């Protein structure tokens, strides 16, 4: 079920198995498993835990491409929540991204989450 998927993805992220999460995610997508917003948030956090910038960039792309902003009722994609933005912002700060990039993400959050 969806709760179990989030637990597995969280476990990958917190226990140093981030490299396994993409194959799990791709398998779930291939099999047509109905992923919810919490599953996406768990996977985004797991990707953000990958050292360096590559995982964070993949997480941001996933949010932009596979999730929908609040107010977009036409799409059946999972909803971007405040938690989604907060996860990306928090890891951007931990990874010491440039302040301008963090501010841009914070502004986008304010625009989407009203």
**pLDDT tens-digit readout, 63-77:** 999 999 887 877 889
The residue-averaged pLDDT of 36-64 equals 97
Alpha helices in the chain (DSSP H): 2-14, 21-30, 37-48, 54-66, 82-94, 99-112
Domain range for 24: 2-112
Stated pTM of the model: 0.93
pLDDT of the residue at 76? 86
Structural domains of the chain, count: 1
Q: In which band, very low, low, confident or very high, does the pLDDT at 30 lie, cut at 50, 70 and 90?
A: very high
Q: How many CB atoms lie within 10 A of CB 27?
A: 10
């Amino acid at each position: 079920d969806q709760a179990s998927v989030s637990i597995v993805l969280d476990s990958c992220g917190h226990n140093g198995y981030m490299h396994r999460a993409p194959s799990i995610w791709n398998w779930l997508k291939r099999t047509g498993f109905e992923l919810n917003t919490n599953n996406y948030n768990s996977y985004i956090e797991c990707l953000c835990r990958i050292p360096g910038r590559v995982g964070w960039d993949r997480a941001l792309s996933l949010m932009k491409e596979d999730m929908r902003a609040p107010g977009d009722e036409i799409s059946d994609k999972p909803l971007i929540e405040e938690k989604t933005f907060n996860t990306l912002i928090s890891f951007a700060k931990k990874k010491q991204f440039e302040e301008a990039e963090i501010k841009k993400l914070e502004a986008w959050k304010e625009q989407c989450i009203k």
